[in-house]
Amino acid sequence: MSATDPRAPEPLHPVARELAPPRGGLRSYPPVERWDDWEEYDPAAWPRKVTRRYALIPTICFNCEAACGLLAYVDKQTLGIQKFEGNPAHPGSRGRNCAKGPATLNQVNDPERIRYPLRRVGPRGGGQWERVSWDEALDDVSRRIRTALVEGRHKEIMYHLGRPGHELVYLQRVFHAWGIDGHNSHTNVCSSSARAGYAFWHGMDRPSPDHANARFILLLSSHLETGHYFNPHAQRIIEAKERGARVCVIDSRLSNTASMADWWLAPWPGSESALLLAMASVLVRERLYDREFVRRWVNWEEYVRAERPDLPVSFEAFEQALGELYARYTPEFAENESGVPAATLVEVARTIGSAGSALATHVWRNAAAGNLGGWQVARALELIVVLMGAVATPGGTAPSAWNKAVPAPPLMPPPAKVWSELLMPREYPLAFFEMSYLLPHFLKEGRGKLAVYFTRVYNPVWTNPDGMSWIEVLTDPEKIELHACLTPIWSETAWFADYVLPMGHASERHDLMSQETHAARWIGFRQPVLRVMLERQGKTFDLTWQAHEAAGLGQVWEEDEFWIELSWRIDPDGSLGVRKYFESPDRPGQKLRIEELYRWIFEHSVPGLPEAAAKEGLTPLAYMRKYGAFLVEDQVYHTHEQPLSADELHGAQVDPVTKVVVKGGQAVGLEVDGVPRLGFPTPSRRLEFFSRTLKEWKWPEQAVPSYIRSHVHWSKIDRAKGEMVLLPTFRLPTLIHTRSGNAKWLYEISHTNPLWLHPEDAARLAVVTGDLLKVTTAIGYFVDRVWATEAIRPGVIACSHHLGRWRLHRDAGGERWSTALVDLQQVERGKWRMRQREGVRPFASDDPDSARIWWTEAGVHQNLTFPVQPDPLSGQHCWHQKVTVAKAGADDRYGDIVVDTNKSFEVYREWLTLARPAPGPGNLRRPLWLPRPFTPDPSAYSLGGSAGVE
Amino acid sequence: MRYGFVIDQRRCIGCHACTVACKEENQVPLGAFRTWVKYVERGTFPNTRRSFAVLRCNHCDRAPCVTICPTVALYRRPDGIVDFDGDRCIGCKSCMQACPYDALYIDPNTRTAAKCHYCAHRVEVGLEPACVIVCPEQAIVAGDLDDPGSRIARLVAREPVQVRKAEQGTRPKVYYLGADAGALVPQLQSTTDRYLWAERPEGELDLVRMVAAVQEDQGDGALSRPVYDVPHLPRPWGRKVSAYLWAKSIAAGPLLIASVAVLGGGAPSGGLFGIAAPALALLFLLATTALLVLDLKRPERFHYILFKANYRSSLVWGAWILIAYGGVAALWLASVLAGAGELVRFLALPALVLAGASAGYSAFLFGQAEGRDFWQSSLLLPQLLVAALVAGAASLLIVGFVSGADLRGLWTLSMVMAVALLLQGLVLTAELLVPHASLDAARAAALITRGEWKTPFWGGVIAAGTALPIVLVWPTPYSAALGGALALAGLWIYEDLWVKAGQSVPLS
């Protein structure tokens, strides 16, 4: 319709009258050739046309783990970041983001953020701080580390991180250079069980579904709203769905993902592997599986030889054995265990059977992380994938490592010959990985102490179960002599640090990222966009914090450079053998500059990048600075089928029985039907239906995919006594653990974590939505509101783990957008009581929005009341809680927490007795083949005397 | 060329990326939203489903916000985008009443109205809106509906689409694919006082409780349960607007009666009609104007109504009418005071017309407030005229009583008031009790007749403010003056309830 169209009245506004004739279609992003100098109209001045000039500099989101691309619009005049959009050059996220991507702007502009290094004054946790220089902080910390190294106390240095960037390589380089075994992660409160389940199948510890090409998608996850890797996966799941793929979601709670699915199966928590094995059983019984694939790639011979000596070693005999093994997992049995109707389960299984090898599946946390034996959920899920021959096929599910690109840095130090039992204690030889959340108990038991403990963008006090025990050890300088917290923002843990060292957000740091988002391999480059901008303008900086200071951000730094500086100061003269790894590859003897590191990596370690850059007349580093991402390989399928090259076969031998190709003592491949192929990185080089490792390491009854009744199985819950199962782990689409409390736009959308309760249970408890419930665990209780909903299985309650942040001081120690002000008291030894003094309130700051906060609640911190519940095999903290639920009493208030850490220590000791400790065969601490980050020298694996610090 | 949106709810995963990207792009403050995602749930376990709806400005081809905006701060561009110009906005909030889709808010930084404007500043440099490019699922499609080759035009041509509130006649240009009626249609939803991961602001909770109380089915028969929504500013118009209506009745009424009397051959220069009537008119016009200006978020821009006027807006016509009426009233008073009372005979007809127009133009203004079904009543004009008569007679009676005027004159006024009150009773009965065509209007009426405000209505408006004054007319002129005071009080209560009730039913 034009201005003169009779359907529209004549526009009266001058702008509308003068509007230029419309052009053609709209484009999504500014053209790349104009990213250096892009003009746009100021949205605040519009419809006045005030032109603003931007440089568009790519970086990588730092919120969840997906590593999606961002494009920072840096205002050329003000040096402020106007906005973050998606980066269309990024192969994983393809220019699109979830809500957390644009919310990065809140994090950058957060008036509450920490801008300068701080040192504690007074007692730890007392809340008194003084500003120090980076030099002072580095000198103190490096001196302590140097002393520990010189005195042979290598195990007393520990680095505990939440969100990995490319640390697994970068930090391995740092810590192996120091000669320590000090990397601690959040993995065991997150994904250990799923990792174990996958690793025992194919030696790699994650799934990489090719959702885009799937015909059936089976999820024990909520990838249309959260998780590894939400945005990239959600895009591809919906693409497949639009093309006709069917989606089944198994979740006791109705997630948004389950809402979008063709089938929502809501089992009793802890019965998921029964459900999956019953589906597998249908596939086996009805011969819907891919026999040829199973024959070629599953270690059935090993199984028949070891477990069925009564049968001949033939595939037909294996099929018979398989049928017998899973005959008891009938649909009716699964219905009885899970509550999911047998007919539905058969219908889903048959639909899976008709999808062939285009079966994409995922489990990461959910049931695997919730339940004792949850690792068998992943084993059972992967059994279905293997039966369907859907491993690394188009539309199938590949092992993660094949869909990742991990470029090597220059000069890797040799592995350290140290094994830290504070990280990997002998009780858990098969754990994935560090028993991080048991650290307070280990320290209390006197298993060791820490000279220097780093936490990095990690908040164990809040995130881990039994946070009060963390506070107890963090406030004990005998157990932790120095705690340095590397963080952009205040957190419950930072409050108990000696140094709070401000590190940058997504647009303020270097990192090299790669994630298995789909059937491809890519790298993404996170970069400090303000420094890049200033350097483009001709200014130079030694260190990123200096650029940030010049841009008005304060002395916010980045870890990459921090580790170089720290390492340099640990070994200034090179006598410890540390310094040489931090010298420039270009300027011998000089300190490595961060740009040199990435230049070297991009020039030497990324296949195809130098050529792609040359085509545009750029250096590889300039290419990455410009595009922020590079697709190393697309359409990655059937990696295990790769024939071994003549080079690889040179000097190799084939084991006549197992057909494993061995070269130099290492298994490098597998001969399948006479052809030597790559296979899988397992001892048999096959998909291990039967795990000899599990059998030999004291778990013979779990050596094949099977069903372990969880610690919260319905048979252990007495509803008549008010007992229920609490699912405390689900994420919300808008938040990310404790990293998003500084994002006002996200908290405005979601700020409470009520207890999801079925109306039937609400009626039994005589409560309605909004009423208070008291939820009692083995070590204490918390008080939260009711959300009565048909979106949860009766008998089960659920509570998102995202909310419930708190701070102890009115004006410091926590983001006021998202924390409640609390009183925390230790009423007697080990008996802690927390009460909210007030919820979220408007506050005055540079940002006028802080005075407009309209929400009042910050949620309830349930994790404080959970005892540690380590799975004896995977080491996973089993999150689901058996709880007693009752209407709150007159003295109970919203947000109340009561915990007894004496009891939590008792629960820890109870679960410890379930473990089956090392040594295993060969007197080892852990099977040598099993993945472990920062893998130490093989000598450190041995319990036979010679291991240890040399 | 007509830009529009297709929102494909078959693809939408309810992730709120559009919400946040929009806030970032357009620097939208906390508490306000240009686009948002509503969640509803249906069914019982395990046959439960959650559905999403992305809601925003519909860029209507017949945009009521553009019509009502007095200063052309809102305007439809030739390419179909409904844009706004904060520099022209006076903050009268009438657009928020005109929009049936809850799309507008007052930006606390500029104190002017704002909403989704299709990222017109991006379109101008050839870029799609921010919500379109962020969406992980490409569930938001932007483009030219008039270009048959465009993706959006093909979708609208080939797929079954829905729009929100088609019955409003706004010709919305946001088309939904695969949306759940339970999410798009607020009338199908039950009420809730909190959401699955968010609170509702206190101001909303009052409305929720009130509306829930008058829902016949208490929400049990509702199709869906809302489980997430963003906060919406409840009731943009408050007491200043109801006071404006009330004051305007008193401004219009006395000269309405006086001019009829003069035209009927009465003495023009008598005390009540010669001086009190124009003086009341001027005094209460001043109050009316002051209330109007004070209710603006940008009162210093009041003059924009005159100098940046949208002649399609009843608010503009109202301003001119009030000015003209003030002029006539001033001449009337001046003539009498100057001893040239005979001139009033020439002023009587214009005064009659302008007094009626002053009282009645609000019917057209509230009629343009198309978002509020309750206000879309053909009885509004008679009600306003009757209210002016009641207010005129009552205020003159009171002045007469206070100034000790001729009792016979007051008797006539008393009778006028009694008749006007009788009419008022009839009009209000018809307005509130005759079945309403729309559910929203019926709910608003129910709030007054049998809900939250039944006591002030039946006790205050009908009994004390209408029936009792009629009875009080007979004993003495003094009691009639007392009745006049009661009638004015009743009128005030009614205007307050009427303005509140109209804004109490949720729009989205």
Q: What is the mean pLDDT of residues B466-478?
A: 90
Return the closest-CA partner of residue A374 out of A729, A686, A112, A109: A729
Phi/psi for B160 (5° steps) reads -70, 120
- B319 and B170 fall within a common domain: no
Question: How far from B452 is each of A844, B3, B448, B487, CA to CA, in Å?
Answer: 37, 43, 7, 22
CATH of the domain at B276: 1.20.1630.10
Strands A128-131 and A675-677: unpaired
Return the closest-CA partner of residue A869 out of A710, A735, A760: A710
- 3-class state of residue A535 by DSSP: helix
Give me the residue from B16, B61, B123 closest to A99, CB to CB.
B16
Closest chain A residue by Cα to residue B230: A749
pLDDT for res B263: 92
Burial letters B119-131, b for 16+ CB under 10 A, else e = bbbbbbbebbbbb
Instruction: Say if the Cβ atoms of A95 and B51 lie within 8 Å.
Output: no
Q: How many domains does chain B have?
A: 2
Instruction: Say if the Cβ atoms of B76 and A9 lie within 8 Å.
Output: yes
Residue B219 has pLDDT above 80, yes or no: no
Q: Determine the Cα–Cα distance for residues A580 and A542; give it in Å rounded to an integer.
A: 19
Burial letters A552-585, b for 16+ CB under 10 A, else e = ebebbbbbbbbbbbbbbbbbeeeebebbebbbee
Q: What is the mean pLDDT of residues A878-892?
A: 97
Residue B280 in tokens? 């009341």
Residue A386 in tokens? 């293997």
- Architecture of the domain delimited by A203-404: 3-Layer(aba) Sandwich (3.40)
Residue carrying structure tokens 């990024």:
A90
- B148 and B246 fall within a common domain: no
- Residues A367 and A250 sit within 8 Å (Cβ to Cβ): yes
Contact list in B for residue A800 (CB cut-off 8 A) is 197
DSSP alpha helices (H): ranges in A298-398? 300-307, 315-326, 331-338, 342-355, 366-370, 375-387
- B191 and B322 fall within a common domain: no
Q: Determine the Cα–Cα distance for residues A444 and A455; give it in Å rounded to an integer.
A: 19
Q: What is the mean pLDDT of residues A422-443?
A: 97
Q: What is the mean pLDDT of residues A631-653?
A: 96
- B206 and B250 fall within a common domain: no
Residue A763: pLDDT band (50, 70, 90) is: very high
- B269 and B146 fall within a common domain: no
- B169 and B41 fall within a common domain: yes
Contact list in B for residue A856 (CB cut-off 8 A) is 199
CATH 2.60.120 fits domain A14-97: no
Give me the residue from B50, B88, B199 closest to A751, CB to CB.
B199
- What share of chain B in percent tops pLDDT 70? 98
Residue A950 has pLDDT above 60, yes or no: no
What is the maximal distance between C-alpha atoms in chain A? 93
Residue B403: pLDDT band (50, 70, 90) is: confident
Contact list in B for residue A27 (CB cut-off 8 A) is 126-128
Closest chain B residue by Cα to residue A746: B20
Give the A window 131-170 contacts with B, CB below 8 Å. Answer: none
- B222 and B322 fall within a common domain: no
- 3-class state of residue B361 by DSSP: helix
- Which of the listed residues B167, B198, B228 is the one where a domain comes to its end? B228
Contact list in B for residue A103 (CB cut-off 8 A) is 20, 24
- 3-class state of residue A43 by DSSP: coil
pLDDT for res A948: 40
Instruction: Say if the Cβ atoms of B130 and A85 lie within 8 Å.
Output: yes
pLDDT tens digits for range A672-724? 999 999 999 999 999 999 999 999 999 999 999 999 999 999 999 998 999 99
Return the closest-CA partner of residue B507 out of B171, B179, B103: B103
Residue A4: pLDDT band (50, 70, 90) is: very low
Peptide bond into A581 cis (omega under 30): no
Contact list in B for residue A95 (CB cut-off 8 A) is 133
pLDDT for res A165: 60
Residue B265: pLDDT band (50, 70, 90) is: confident
Q: Determine the Cα–Cα distance for residues A850 and A816; give it in Å rounded to an integer.
A: 9
Return the closest-CA partner of residue A213 out of A356, A378, A67: A356
Q: Determine the Cα–Cα distance for residues A229 and B285; give it in Å rounded to an integer.
A: 64
H and E: helices and strands count for chain B: 19, 11
Contact list in B for residue A30 (CB cut-off 8 A) is 127
Residue B220 has pLDDT above 70, yes or no: no
pLDDT for res A122: 93
Q: Selecting from 2.40.40.20, 2.30.40.10, 2.60.210.10, 1.20.120.790, what CATH number does the domain A717-912 have?
A: 2.40.40.20
- Residues B82 and B61 sit within 8 Å (Cβ to Cβ): no
- ipTM value, please give it: 0.96
CB of A751 within 8 Å of a chain B CB? The answer is yes
Residue B266: pLDDT band (50, 70, 90) is: confident
Interacting residues of A676 by C-beta distance below 8 A, sequence separation 6+: A643, A644, A649, A652, A654, A661, A669, A670
Residue A431 in tokens? 């754990």
- Residues A460 and A472 sit within 8 Å (Cβ to Cβ): no
Q: Describe the crossing of helices B439-449 and B202-214 by its angle, rounded to 10 degrees.
A: 90
- Residues A404 and A266 sit within 8 Å (Cβ to Cβ): no
Using CB atoms within 10 A of its CB, is residue A45 exposed (0-12), middle (13-18) or buried (19+)?
middle
Mean pLDDT of chain B: 94
**Residue extent(s) of CATH 3.40.228.10 domains in chain A:** 203-404
Query: How close does chain B come to A690, measured CA to CA in Å?
Result: 36
CB of A37 within 8 Å of a chain B CB? The answer is no
- What are the E-state strand segments in A743-838? 755-757, 772-776, 780-788, 796-798, 806-807, 820-828, 831-838
- Residues B94 and B371 sit within 8 Å (Cβ to Cβ): no
pLDDT for res A61: 96
Chain B interface test: which of A82, A252, A260 (most B C-beta within 10 Å) = A260
- Residues A499 and A134 sit within 8 Å (Cβ to Cβ): no
- Sheet order of strands, A263-265 included: A263-265, A246-250, A216-220, A359-363
Element (H, E) at B243: helix B239-263
- B169 and B243 fall within a common domain: no
- Residues B359 and B252 sit within 8 Å (Cβ to Cβ): yes
Query: How close does chain A come to B30, measured CA to CA in Å?
Result: 6
- B321 and B396 fall within a common domain: yes
Q: Determine the Cα–Cα distance for residues A84 and B301; give it in Å rounded to an integer.
A: 35
**Which amino acid is residue A837, in one-letter code?**
R
Q: What is the mean pLDDT of residues A126-143?
A: 97
In this structure, is residue B507 part of a structural domain? no
pLDDT for res B271: 79
pLDDT tens digits for range A43-54? 999 999 999 999
- B219 and B245 fall within a common domain: no
Phi/psi for A538 (5° steps) reads 100, -5
Closest chain A residue by Cα to residue B19: A99
Residue B478: pLDDT band (50, 70, 90) is: confident
Residue A300: pLDDT band (50, 70, 90) is: very high
Residue B269 has pLDDT above 90, yes or no: no
Question: How far from B225 is each of A346, B51, B185, B197, B487, CA to CA, in Å?
Answer: 32, 10, 11, 14, 43
pLDDT tens digits for range A450-473? 999 999 989 999 999 999 999 999
Return the closest-CA partner of residue A744 out of B219, B31, B95: B31
Q: What is the mean pLDDT of residues A511-537?
A: 96
Q: Describe the crossing of helices A167-178 and A559-570 by its angle, rounded to 10 degrees.
A: 10
- Residues A940 and A417 sit within 8 Å (Cβ to Cβ): yes
Q: What is the mean pLDDT of residues B463-477?
A: 92
- Which of the listed residues B179, B199, B228 is the one where a domain comes to its end? B228
pLDDT tens digits for range A68-124? 999 999 999 999 999 999 999 999 999 999 999 999 999 999 999 999 999 999 999
pLDDT tens digits for range A361-372? 999 988 999 999
Tell me how many residue pairs between chain A and chain B have CB atoms under 8 A apart: 250
Element (H, E) at B69: none
Q: Determine the Cα–Cα distance for residues A798 and A712; give it in Å rounded to an integer.
A: 13
Instruction: Say if the Cβ atoms of A7 and B61 lie within 8 Å.
Output: yes
Instruction: Say if the Cβ atoms of A26 and B19 lie within 8 Å.
Output: no
- What are the E-state strand segments in B270-337? none
In this structure, is residue B233 part of a structural domain? no
Q: What is the mean pLDDT of residues A858-879?
A: 98
**Which amino acid is residue B358, in one-letter code?**
S
CB of A39 within 8 Å of a chain B CB? The answer is yes
Residue B281 has pLDDT above 90, yes or no: yes
- B199 and B341 fall within a common domain: no
Phi/psi for A260 (5° steps) reads -85, -5
DSSP alpha helices (H): ranges in A188-341? 192-202, 230-242, 256-260, 272-285, 291-297, 300-307, 315-326, 331-338
The reported pTM is 0.96
Q: Determine the Cα–Cα distance for residues B328 and B281; give it in Å rounded to an integer.
A: 10
Contact list in A for residue B11 (CB cut-off 8 A) is 238, 242
**Residue extent(s) of CATH 2.40.40.20 domains in chain A:** 717-912
In this structure, is residue B157 part of a structural domain? yes
- Residues A471 and A491 sit within 8 Å (Cβ to Cβ): no
Residue B69 has pLDDT above 90, yes or no: yes
Peptide bond into A843 cis (omega under 30): no
Return the closest-CA partner of residue A291 out of A316, A308, A313, A323: A316
Least confident of A2-16, A530-544, A739-753, A863-877: A2-16
In this structure, is residue B39 part of a structural domain? yes
CATH of the domain at B87: 3.30.70.20
Segments forming the whole domain that contains residue B145? 3-228
- Which of the listed residues B228, B252, B280 is the one where a domain comes to its end? B228
Query: How close does chain B come to A904, measured CA to CA in Å?
Result: 30
Mean pLDDT of chain A: 95
Instruction: Say if the Cβ atoms of B29 and A754 lie within 8 Å.
Output: no
**Residue extent(s) of CATH 2.20.25 domains in chain A:** 14-97
pLDDT for res A743: 98
Using CB atoms within 10 A of its CB, is residue A372 exposed (0-12), middle (13-18) or buried (19+)?
buried
pLDDT tens digits for range A187-246? 999 999 999 999 999 999 999 999 999 999 999 999 999 988 999 999 999 999 999 999
Residue B63 has pLDDT above 90, yes or no: yes
Q: Determine the Cα–Cα distance for residues B427 and B434; give it in Å rounded to an integer.
A: 10
Peptide bond into A936 cis (omega under 30): no
Instruction: Say if the Cβ atoms of B1 and A22 lie within 8 Å.
Output: yes
Instruction: Say if the Cβ atoms of B121 and A9 lie within 8 Å.
Output: no
Q: Which residue has the higher pLDDT, A950 or B376?
A: B376
Burial letters A294-315, b for 16+ CB under 10 A, else e = bbbbbbbbbbbeebbeebeeeb
Residue A164: pLDDT band (50, 70, 90) is: low
Q: What is the mean pLDDT of residues B282-294?
A: 97
Contact list in A for residue B125 (CB cut-off 8 A) is 39-41
- Residues A442 and A422 sit within 8 Å (Cβ to Cβ): yes
Peptide bond into A47 cis (omega under 30): yes
Using CB atoms within 10 A of its CB, is residue B410 exposed (0-12), middle (13-18) or buried (19+)?
buried
pLDDT for res A2: 42
Residue B87: how many other CB atoms lie within 10 Å: 16
Q: DSSP class of residue A11?
A: P
Residue A25: pLDDT band (50, 70, 90) is: confident
